[in-house]
Structure 1
Amino acid sequence: MIRAAILGATGAVGQTFVRLLSRHPLFEVVSVVASERSAGKPYREAARWLQAETLDPIIGDLVVQDVHASPDCEVVFSGLDASVAGDVEADWARRGYAVVSNARNWRMDPTVPLLVPEINPDHVALIDRQDWGSDGFIVTNPNCSTIGLVMALRPLHDAFGVEAVHVVTMQALSGAGYPGVASLDALGNVVPHIGGEEDKMATETLKILGVLEDDGVRDADLVVSAQCNRVPVVDGHFEAVSVRLKTPTTPEQAAEAMRSWRSPLEDLTFTTDLPAPLVVTDDPAAPQPRTHVNAGDGMTATVGRVQACPAMASDGRGVKFVVLSHNTVRGAAGCAILNAQLLHAQGRVQERVEA
């Protein structure tokens, strides 16, 4: 087993880490870390448990530690808020920990991998360019809205080349954390602004789809324009995407490229079966958050309504589709856990060897 600590364990993302890791065959949660006001309390008392599954009693009995703790573990998962994550994660890396973060603070650092494991696993090599004065390092996963987009774009970029993307998001309330959006703002309404989200989608996509070179990642040569909206859906970020390709193609060819795309993780050995990262449906009324958000235990992105898009290109290079992904699983804690599994498969995080 790999012993794990969770930073920001009482928050919405931290609780998702707790839920997913409590039944994971590779990881054992040995430490939960939160703010000073929670430190010293049993986790079950410090956290207002919001997950649908019952809290694991072993983790519930763990005493919450503050951010200066030094637990005996091999990996640290960070669900910290961005307002504090930067300095705290850097401190843990300096102290020799492998930090796998969901926060935005280090995503665009040129030495820090911004990973979706099936999309750009080679970017893990950026770790070798980090220097924290220890064996520690930081790995990040992207914004929850970026993840669904890049999972759909990767096969198209590989097969045809992508020149430009316009994406309109309809993002779930759970993406705002707890207590999140006020009920009178959310119910029966659409909020057409999520601070910083559109910029993240534009910049993160270019880094993730970029090429690893000797001097770092060269951003992908494409343009992303995003419009982000909060809608009254509990879980699941839904995105309407229009793409201009470099090579003319039909909607059928574009759909087949996504269907037949092969994850590079298939060449590695993992301790668990990996769900399909991407599925394409022909159902004209799919995907929908209510029925498709938990595909692959929340780790599968679902694409539907693949059509020609003459507005993007009139010469057969335009395609449009919708994509749905689970924002707190695939888009947050689940992706970070898969990042840690990738680090283990590559030998960068080792299991504890008992004497």
Structure 2
Amino acid sequence: MVDVGILGATGMVGQRFISLLDKHPDFNLTSLCASSRSAGKRYEDATTWYLDEPMPESVKDIIVTDSDPNEVSSDTEIFFSSLPSEFAAKKEKAFAKNHVVASNASALRMEKDIPLIIPEVNPDFLAMIEEQQKNNNWDGFIVTNPNCSTIALTLTLKPIQDNFNIKKVHVSTMQAISGAGYDGVPSMAIIDNLVPYIGGEEEKMESETLYLLGSQENGNVTPCNFNVSASCHRVPVVDGHTEAVFIEFEDDFEISEVSDKMSSFKGLPQELNLHSAPENPVIVTEMEDRPQPRMDRNANNGMSVTVGRMRKDAVFENSLKYVLVGHNTIRGAAGASILNAELINNKIL
């Protein structure tokens, strides 16, 4: 068992980390870190619990510590970070001197020597870790996972990219309010409404997707050679991002072949039988009114992306349309970091 901790343990994503790590066969949760106002308190006393499932008994009596590497046990090998971006860069680098940091924060995602990873998509990018350690004189290192909407999209694009020639991708998202955190979207702003702007989200989707589907050599990443255009919107759904995807191919294609490639897609986590890896990262449904967030966000414990309404575009030549749903705080956040850590534990530690 590897001792692990959480940075930002009292927030919504931090709570999701706790829920997913409870009774994990490889990881023993020993350290919970938060702000100085929570430090010194029992976790149960320091936290307003937001998730539907109850707080695990195993964490209630853990004493919260400040997010300072000098305040935590040196035996804790991996820290999962759900820190706000304004604190993440400095804090994560401080922890990486002696610990592994699996970060869900956006602050360091596109740093040159810090790999941005989806284990089924680009596990070879972990080769960048050695250069990162050398550049910073660290014994530990940082690995990041992408934006929640990027992860869902990229998982569906990977089997297409591997088997077809993509010319361009357009995506329009309908994103759940949990993606903004508990206090992120005021109720008066979202009830009976749709907010057609999420700051920085479109830029993240466009740049991160190209990075993830690109290639790396000697620590240098070459983005993939097609364009991605995103439009992102907040909708009154609690959990589960929905995305409408439009892909133009270089050549004609058969829907059945695209569907088969998505359904049969597996990656290194499936080969290694990692604990959090879903049997099928992408599930394709033929039901005409699916996927729906309430019905499909928890597929394979929230770690699979469900695709439906797959059809050829009747207007634009060689074009495909489909809708996807992915759980934004599981596969798109805490679950993504945990799967990264499982891969690291299997291949590096």
> TM-score, normalising length from structure 1?
0.94
Deviation at residue 271 of structure 1 after TM alignment = 5.0
Deviation at residue 184 of structure 1 after TM alignment = 1.0
Correspondence for 2:76: 73
Deviation at residue 310 of structure 1 after TM alignment = 4.6
> TM-score, normalising length from structure 2?
0.95
The runs of at least 4 consecutive aligned structure 1 residues that moved more than 4 Å come to none
Residue 152 (structure 2) aligned to one of 137, 148, 151: 148
- Alpha carbons 1:259, 1:279 under 8 Å: kept: yes
Residue 169 (structure 1) aligned to one of 166, 173, 183: 173
Identity across the alignment (%): 44
Distance 2:219 2:93 in 1: 22
SS at match of 2:246: strand
Distance 1:159 1:269 in 2: 24
Correspondence for 2:6: 6
Structure 1 residues 42-121: aligned runs within 5 Å: 42-68=42-68, 69-71=71-73, 72-94=75-97, 96-121=98-123
- Alpha carbons 1:269, 1:345 under 8 Å: kept: no
Distance 1:298 1:323 in 2: 13
Distance 1:153 1:116 in 2: 12
**Structure 2 counterpart of 1:327, which letter?**
N
**Structure 1 counterpart of 2:285, which letter?**
T
Distance 2:88 2:95 in 1: 10
Deviation at residue 222 of structure 1 after TM alignment = 1.2
Distance 1:277 1:234 in 2: 22
- Alpha carbons 1:254, 1:306 under 8 Å: kept: no
SS at match of 1:130: helix
Correspondence for 1:338: 339
- Alpha carbons 2:117, 2:212 under 8 Å: kept: yes
Q: 1:320 aligned to 2:321? A: yes
Deviation at residue 171 of structure 1 after TM alignment = 0.3
Correspondence for 1:353: none
Distance 1:18 1:266 in 2: 23
- Alpha carbons 2:276, 2:338 under 8 Å: kept: no
SS at match of 2:325: strand
1:159-190, Cα deviation, whole Å (9 max, x unpaired): 00222111000000111101221111111110
Task: Give aligned pairs, total.
Answer: 344
Q: Are the structure 2 counterparts of residues 307 and 56 from structure 1 closer, same or farther at C-alpha, using a change threshold of 3 Å?
A: same
- Alpha carbons 2:65, 2:72 under 8 Å: kept: no
Correspondence for 2:41: 41
Structure 1 residues 156-235: aligned runs within 5 Å: 156-235=160-239
Instruction: Give 5+ residue unaligned stretches, structure 2.
Output: none
Distance 1:221 1:272 in 2: 31
Cα root mean square deviation, aligned: 1.3
Of residues 271-280 and 81-90 in structure 1, the stretch that sits farther from structure 2 once superposed is 271-280
Instruction: Give 5+ residue unaligned stretches, structure 1.
Output: 350-355
